[in-house]
Amino acid sequence: MRKTRLKIFLYPSLVIFLCAALFPGGEEKGEALLIKGAKIYTMGPKGVLLGASLLIEGGKIKKIIEGLDWPQAQVVDYSGKCIIPGLVDAHTYISGYYRLLENSQVVTSDLVALAAFDPLSPEVDEALAAGITTANLCPRNENLVGGITSILKLSKDPKGVFFLKKEGFLKISFAKDVERDDRAPTSLMGAKEMLDESLKNAGNQGDREEIFQEQGILKLAKGELQPLIAASNYEEINTALKWLSDWKKKGVIVGGEEVYRFIEELNKKEISILLSPFLFAFPDRIFEKASSLLKLGIKIAFVSDMPEGEASGLRTSALLLFHQEMPQEEALKTITLYPAQILGVESVVGSLEEGKDADFVVFSGEPLDLSSKILAVYSSGRLVSK
């Protein structure tokens, strides 16, 4: 009698199991996508591939195929089009502009930007439509130490994990917005002094609440967080460089309008620069000098400063850089691979290599040709924008 019951139970389940194995399931996990393309700018060691395809599985790039065939994969045909990695925006206030400023104090180092992010906000759609798939959400420039930045993945997947790093950098600002009439600091030198004092006194005094609020500073002091300093004009950048060398820290400077005046000092230092040229008074200058900075090996990336700047600014910046006789790949790297390296997430995004996230942008023609349009944007293997 038992054996019969077993058989009744066993045989149908076997059949069902076999069916499941032979007929791969729905649109969810397990399906391999083959993205056929005419030209793929991998930004990785494989360089530019003509007539290649990406095999995507589980949101990651399983394989890059130099050819246009792969068995058992759902084909998405972009032959004749160009594919580049998803853009990485290393400094943005996307979806949380009014929530990224805690006005009550000047030094708010414990606040984490992730809390201000709204993944379903229309700004995210805008960014995705412009090809941005990774964003470093930063507190604003009005506080001396605004808080801790978060590196996010922009996608439409409500269940998906949408941050790559909860804590990215400590955002420090020497920008003009910090200097105010009605509270300290009122000048740039005061801002620097205040920052020095905070670092020196970190962890030494205050009650429990204050120690908690100093968390970001403590992490900076211990080296767990790198500083991301907002500095635009000459004296702000000069102060930032001095501060970095005083405290012997590596860091990133964002803003950098007059950074071209520091070419000699930046050489051989481990300082990266993030530029948002369209918020400058004279955008043309930076493109002329950016090429010389890149040739010296200084890491540069273009950012959008959304919503203060436009999401399309990234592509336009790369285009204008390309026009300064920079090779196309270099120009594209400033919005893909280099920001990923600066943010420390190059193992996951920034280039199209095996094992990395399947984030890419499909163009109707050459990516740095203004007449090309963005046809599709994929984030972690899912089509997020058309």
Partner 1 sequence: MVKRKFNPAFKSIFFLILACGFLMAPVRADDVIALKVGTLLKGNGEVLKDAIIIIKNGKIEFAGVNYPVPKGTNILEFKEGVATPGFIAANACLHISQETKEVSTYSREDFYEYRIEKIPALNEERSETTPEMNLLYSVDPRSEDFALAWRSGVTCVYLAPGNLNVYNGTGTVLKTWGQSPQNMTVRNMVQIKVTLGEEPAVGAEGSRFDPGLRTRRPQNRMGVDSIFRQALVDLQNKSELPDSQLNPQELLFRKVLQGEISLRIRAKSYVDIKSAFRYMEEFGFKWILEEGVDAYKYLDDLKNKNVPVIYGPVYRPKGRFDFNSENDFYRAQTPILLAKKGILFAFQNDAKSPISALRDEAIYAVKLGLDEESALKALTFHAAKILGVEDRIGTVEKGKDGDLLIFSGDPFSPSSRLEKVLINGKVMDPNK
Smallest gap from Cβ 184 to partner 1, in A, equals: 3
Distance CA(353)–CA(85), nearest Å, equals: 10
Q: Name which of 102 and 236 has its Cβ closer to partner 1.
A: 236
Smallest gap from Cβ 226 to partner 1, in A, equals: 21
Task: Report residue 137 as tokens.
Answer: 């959400």
Q: Name which of 69 and 193 has its Cβ closer to partner 1.
A: 193
Smallest gap from Cβ 296 to partner 1, in A, equals: 17
Task: Report residue 259 as tokens.
Answer: 């950074």
Residues 160-179 as x/- pattern, contact with partner 1 by CB under 8 A:
----------------x--x
Strands 74-85 and 32-41: parallel
Q: Name which of 57 and 265 has its Cβ closer to partner 1.
A: 265
Contact 341, 95 (CB under 8 A): no
Q: Name which of 232 and 304 has its Cβ closer to partner 1.
A: 232
Smallest gap from Cβ 243 to partner 1, in A, equals: 9
Beta-carbon count within 10 A of 56 CB: 25
Site for partner 1 in 243-302 (CB under 8 A): 261
Which residue's entry shows tokens 């080296």? Answer: 223
Q: Binding residue for partner 1 (CB under 8 A) from 62, 192, 289, 299?
A: 192
Q: Binding residue for partner 1 (CB under 8 A) from 181, 207, 209, 325?
A: 181
The amino acid occupying position 113 is: A
Q: Name which of 9 and 234 has its Cβ closer to partner 1.
A: 234
Site for partner 1 in 219-238 (CB under 8 A): 233-235, 238
Smallest gap from Cβ 298 to partner 1, in A, equals: 17
Stretch that binds partner 1, among 189-197, 220-228, 305-313, 371-379 (CB under 8 A): 189-197
Which string of DSSP letters, residue by residue, matches 277-315? GGGSS-HHHHHHHHHHHHHTT--EEE---TTTS-TTHHH
Q: Binding residue for partner 1 (CB under 8 A) from 188, 220, 254, 311?
A: 188
Under the binding rule (CB under 8 A), the answer on residue 190 touching partner 1 is yes
Tell me, by CB under 8 A, how many residues bind partner 1: 22
Distance CA(386)–CA(373), nearest Å, equals: 10
Distance CA(356)–CA(166), nearest Å, equals: 19
Among residues 98, 101, 236, 233, the alpha carbon closest in space to that of 171 is found at 101
Smallest gap from Cβ 99 to partner 1, in A, equals: 27
Task: Report residue 360 as tokens.
Answer: 């890419």
Q: Binding residue for partner 1 (CB under 8 A) from 13, 79, 105, 187?
A: 187
> What value, to the nearest 5°, has the Cα angle with vertex 64 and ends 63 and 67?
125
Site for partner 1 in 40-79 (CB under 8 A): none
Which residue's entry shows tokens 């149908």? Answer: 12
Q: Name which of 15 and 189 has its Cβ closer to partner 1.
A: 189
Under the binding rule (CB under 8 A), the answer on residue 11 touching partner 1 is no
Smallest gap from Cβ 220 to partner 1, in A, equals: 20
What are the φ/ψ torsions at residue 289 (nearest 5 degrees)? -85, -20
Which string of DSSP letters, residue by residue, matches 71-82? TT-EEEEEEEEE
Distances (CA, A) of 121 to 33, 117, 127, 315: 28, 9, 10, 22
Beta-carbon count within 10 A of 78 CB: 22
Task: Report residue 265 as tokens.
Answer: 């000092």
Under the binding rule (CB under 8 A), the answer on residue 146 touching partner 1 is no
Q: Binding residue for partner 1 (CB under 8 A) from 149, 239, 272, 334?
A: 239
Smallest gap from Cβ 196 to partner 1, in A, equals: 9
- 75: exposed, middle or buried (C-beta count within 10 Å: 0-12, 13-18, 19+)? middle
Q: Binding residue for partner 1 (CB under 8 A) from 69, 118, 177, 193?
A: 193
Q: Which residues bind partner 1 (CB under 8 A)?
A: 176, 179, 181-190, 192-194, 233-235, 238-239, 242, 261
